[in-house]
Structure 1
């Protein structure tokens, strides 16, 4: 594998299954372009199922066809949007590498919407990665004043192709579930394509099922057949970190990750502390190199804000103090009182009752865990800040 996050978009090596999906999607798009109506293609799939690769290959074909007389995409206006600043950097870098695609072809949703409203522009095709990160409420501070970004994008394009994974919904301002998506799609022609094969983790099916269980709070026996996937549970975060640093020396792209739940230090330091491990959180900044590719990020701890959508070779994951062990059910539960990043729980008209909000808080944390645990291609190293949970995991 290319020791760069760009390597995740190796569109020259798509599988037979992916090629068949692409053929079906392209056929739908070509028919939709002739109809004169708005159409939406929804690509569903969990973390690691190749959604971004599929979307990138599709974009490459659409842009190539736009310059070829006789192509169904000839002179069609096409743009790619993603509401994730770190992932946008990857795509914009990709635009410098793939023929016929440019940095300007990748934009944030708010920029796309506001520019179209200003210029009265209408796109033929808009591709949306990480659709579950689109806003479902106004966010005036970033100049999004409408109610729903997907609804606005649909109005501004003849065909929208959008990727969705409800297990990667992370905040109330990006609140998505199946009923809401169905409501947004209802006025328009639409079709669903489902991706269900795990491409990222080079692991046995039993190992994938064990990780899937953990993302739902289940504690299952460690599988005896793990294939070549390096799955380990550690008693100390410091020892886990030492192993991740060694993997980073050997193969690169190995990083520490965790979720919200760690309190600030005595001098208000924004750090992750457990036993002898004490490292700062990731730093979002404007430099073009994404967090995972920066050499200095080996001394930091990544979060969903810097790692969502990325591949790592090895992921070292600390289950934060918000994840606790429930001995009665022999499962992992979320303690919302220990969630320190309250931005994810802001009020939204999409959630009316306290009961719904409590359920949402728990689900968001498990969604976060789902993203973190499924970053590693070659291996996953795990420990837990909660002593009882750590003890239970070590018993496995």
Structure 2
């Protein structure tokens, strides 16, 4: 998990080419009169964070010589822990340069300072409107960061937008960039690097979340359906059997966890809240106050992780419970936002910029499923609350 964002990880040829493009972009624009923005696109698991961490290490190595003031931002507390821990392994990196966006913005305004280069991982998690609860009072975080920087390098994946208060689309990002009349370049990573899976498995996931279609090209086993001998991809009819299989994998290879869509009630009130599916009964993860990430704690094999726990991370095996908001109708997937329990994700926006709120909510649910299903390096197990989906996949309908 940690090595996936370690700064000295070797890059592929595709990643190296993009890395060199961004380095050139920074050098060409650092002393320019205009704002400069480079946008790195790519699906979950294509290696965007690997490029960013290696890039920031290179920037910081030159910081003293160039007298630059640089920051690495990520709006994800679990990921921030990893970046700060990794920073301690390199003398050139300082932990106080790895911040949450709100901290950077408020700190910069208070001290009346500006940055030279700001790198933003998971920019799709930036707030796109003011949220007093998060101590952010300006209009949107991307705009504020651009104001406070000379060069901005950001990672963006429209398919990983998970909340209305951080609702981004390519159009909204383009509007912010256009407002500054900035110099702009972008690159897109295409190769899936996390999942050691054949293309047909990745396509199965994308067809489910992008097209609401299910490929029935699955072979029936004793307890589950499968479609690949190279990647351990399974669809279970029984959540408890799936969990027991996952625990076995965890004892064999480590860092294997069960997660679920936010279709089951949970409140941050200090009490345990459970996901129940037949004989399966486990509590949601608790707020993680320690510096150790959730999946690195041995005891969390007995908890259920959420999208907020595992987004951006690698797991060896992931088991995903897809809850009641997803069902089958006439051989197609149907998504019902009214059955989604994550009220924070659907908290009403102040900005009246969404023409179709129902579609936006459905996109958030499908994005979360896509992200969860793409966590596993060696394998992915799936359980659907709606038994009709399993029966359809098993050609029993």
Helix, strand or coil: the match of 1:283?
coil
1:61 and 2:58 are equivalent in the alignment: yes
Q: Could you tell me how far apart the structure 1 residues matched to 2:186 and 2:228 are?
A: 32
Aligned residues of 1:116 and 1:156 also touching (Cα < 8 A): yes
User: Which of residues 213, 218, 222 is equivalent to 2:217?
Assistant: 222
Match of 1:91 in 2: 83
CA distance change for structure 1 residues 263 and 126 in 2, over 3 Å: closer, same or farther? closer
Deviates most, 160-169 or 58-67? 58-67
Deviates most, 162-171 or 225-234? 225-234
What's the TM-score once normalised by structure 1's chain length?
Answer: 0.93
How far off is 1:190 after superposition? 1.3
Unaligned runs of 5+ in 2: 220-226
Helix, strand or coil: the match of 2:50?
helix
Match of 1:211 in 2: 205
CA distance change for structure 1 residues 284 and 28 in 2, over 3 Å: closer, same or farther? same
Match of 1:381 in 2: 381
How far off is 1:162 after superposition? 0.6
1:316 and 2:311 are equivalent in the alignment: no
Aligned residues of 2:272 and 2:286 also touching (Cα < 8 A): no
How far off is 1:390 after superposition? 2.8
Aligned residues of 2:215 and 2:393 also touching (Cα < 8 A): no
User: Which of residues 78, 101, 114 is equivalent to 1:122?
Assistant: 114
Helix, strand or coil: the match of 1:333?
strand
How far off is 1:16 after superposition? 1.5
- Trace 1:256-267 onto structure 2 (pairs within 5 A): 256-263=258-265
Q: Could you tell me how far apart the structure 2 residues matched to 1:346 and 1:362 are?
A: 14
Helix, strand or coil: the match of 2:345?
helix
How far off is 1:222 after superposition? 3.2
Any idea what the Cα deviations from partners look like across 1:190-237, whole Å, max 9, x if unmatched?
111111110000011112111211222210133687352101111100
What's the TM-score once normalised by structure 2's chain length?
Answer: 0.92
Aligned residues of 1:206 and 1:223 also touching (Cα < 8 A): no
1:241 and 2:233 are equivalent in the alignment: no
Match of 1:340 in 2: 341
How far off is 1:264 after superposition? 6.5
Q: Could you tell me how far apart the structure 2 residues matched to 1:263 and 1:78 are?
A: 41
Aligned residues of 2:216 and 2:394 also touching (Cα < 8 A): no
Match of 2:293 in 1: 290
How far off is 1:389 after superposition? 1.9
Match of 1:172 in 2: 164
CA distance change for structure 1 residues 102 and 369 in 2, over 3 Å: closer, same or farther? same
CA distance change for structure 1 residues 121 and 264 in 2, over 3 Å: closer, same or farther? closer
How far off is 1:269 after superposition? 5.1
What root-mean-square deviation, in Å, do the aligned CA atoms of Structure 1 and Structure 2 show? 1.8
CA distance change for structure 1 residues 276 and 177 in 2, over 3 Å: closer, same or farther? same
Match of 1:6 in 2: 2
Q: Could you tell me how far apart the structure 2 residues matched to 1:22 and 1:195 are?
A: 11
Q: Could you tell me how far apart the structure 1 residues matched to 2:287 and 2:89 are?
A: 24
User: Which of residues 8, 21, 25 is equivalent to 2:22?
Assistant: 25
How far off is 1:88 after superposition? 0.6
Aligned length: 382
Aligned residues of 1:38 and 1:189 also touching (Cα < 8 A): yes
1:158 and 2:150 are equivalent in the alignment: yes
Q: Could you tell me how far apart the structure 1 residues matched to 2:266 and 2:229 are?
A: 39
CA distance change for structure 1 residues 263 and 386 in 2, over 3 Å: closer, same or farther? farther
